[in-house]
Amino acid sequence: MNYKEVTQLFRPDLEKVELALKDNFLSDIPIVPGIGEYILSSGGKRIRPLLMLISARLCDTELNETLIKHCCVVENVHAATLLHDDVVDETTVRRGRQTVNSKWGNDASILVGDYLIAQSLTLLADDVDPTIFKAFSKAAKLLVEGGLLEFSNARDIHVTEKHCMDVIYRKTASILSLSCRLGGLIAEADKEQEEALVAFGDHFGMAFQLMDDLMDYDATPEQLGKPAGNDFQEGHVTLPLHHLYHNSKNGLKQEIEAFIQNDKLTHKELDYILDRMREGKALEYTLAQAHKHMDRAKEAIQATSFPVPQYKDALVAVADYILSRYTLSKATLANSTQF
């Protein structure tokens, strides 16, 4: 089974989730449905709802209203964090279109993000399950902590690799893992199955963000849906830059230190750093870490018994798709042969 086959298989379910997401923006305040339609029409792979649906099916539960609601919960929180992040980072382009903050202003972006979080709480209140609510609360807390951790250490090139990975776990992996866990909880999975789904989600989320961090330096704007080098411009020290800095000689270290404090960097500086990353195998290192985490994600699922085991292949296919989005460029491979 490949990713295209998975999306075809779950298309009817995802279409119902999409209709429910539209209902989230029904409001007598015109700006809410206006921005809602803009957000939904900009696309998105719906990875989080898809993971929840596959996890539930793996545990022998077909689509139902509870699953649809909780798919909306995780997707609303994800959309809210993007709206808030775009304000914090002053982002103007996402998925090839103007961001909401660029088009409607920061206030609207923040308030609609808040609206989506409130909608998530309303949906959770419809079926108050203490276990599910605790899982949501824990993941939401981690998500916010990740944003705070990243913000507090912006433009600090001296952070540790552990810090970089901690930001990824809290800010990205927490909600992807929650998606898998909720699918299992709604399907009444046993403890071993729930733990396997959480482990899959944790490692899948780590790999997912490592791939994004890698592609931010070495992918085309068409692949990214935004200009390359956003993290570098915004002073976020992700793993590729961290690895380069901590494995460089003093001269290059001083250059990187100057770059990370400069919020007016040009494509020339980005290209220069990208070339140094290729020479220093920083891209290869990050890619290897992504593959390591995805291998652990697959192992967690394969080692556990589930009621409908054929859906393990669907999770594996989604995992493989995430890794397939990027391959080392010829220039990177050419440089790597020197070491």
Q: Is the pLDDT of residue 339 over 70?
A: no
More confident of the two residues 222 and 336: 222
Model confidence pLDDT, tens digit, residues 91-138:
888 877 899 999 999 999 999 999 999 999 999 998 778 999 999 999
Pairwise CA distance, residues 43 & 51, whole Å: 17
Note down the domain range covering 82. Answer: 3-336
> Domains in the chain: how many in total?
1
Confidence of residue 331 (pLDDT cuts 50, 70, 90): low
Checking if the pLDDT of 267 tops 90, the result is no
Does residue 80 register a pLDDT over 80?
yes
Q: In the structure encoding, which two tokens stand for residue 224, read together? A: 């990214």
CATH number, domain containing residue 158: 1.10.600.10
Mean pLDDT for the stretch of residues 68-87: 94
Amino acid at 161: E
Q: What percent of the chain has pLDDT over 90?
A: 79
pLDDT above 70 covers what percent of the chain? 96
pLDDT in tens, 28-74: 999 999 999 999 888 778 999 999 999 999 999 999 999 999 999 99
A 10 A CB-CB count for 283 gives 26
The residue length of the chain stands at: 339
Q: What is the pLDDT of residue 337?
A: 40
Contact between 125 and 52 (Cβ < 8 Å): no
Can you tell me the mean pLDDT for 222-239? 82
Mean pLDDT for the chain overall: 92
CA-based nearest residue to 89, from 231, 228, 273: 231
Distances (CA, A) of 143 to 13, 80, 168, 173, 283: 27, 11, 9, 9, 26
**What's the mean pLDDT in 23-28?**
90
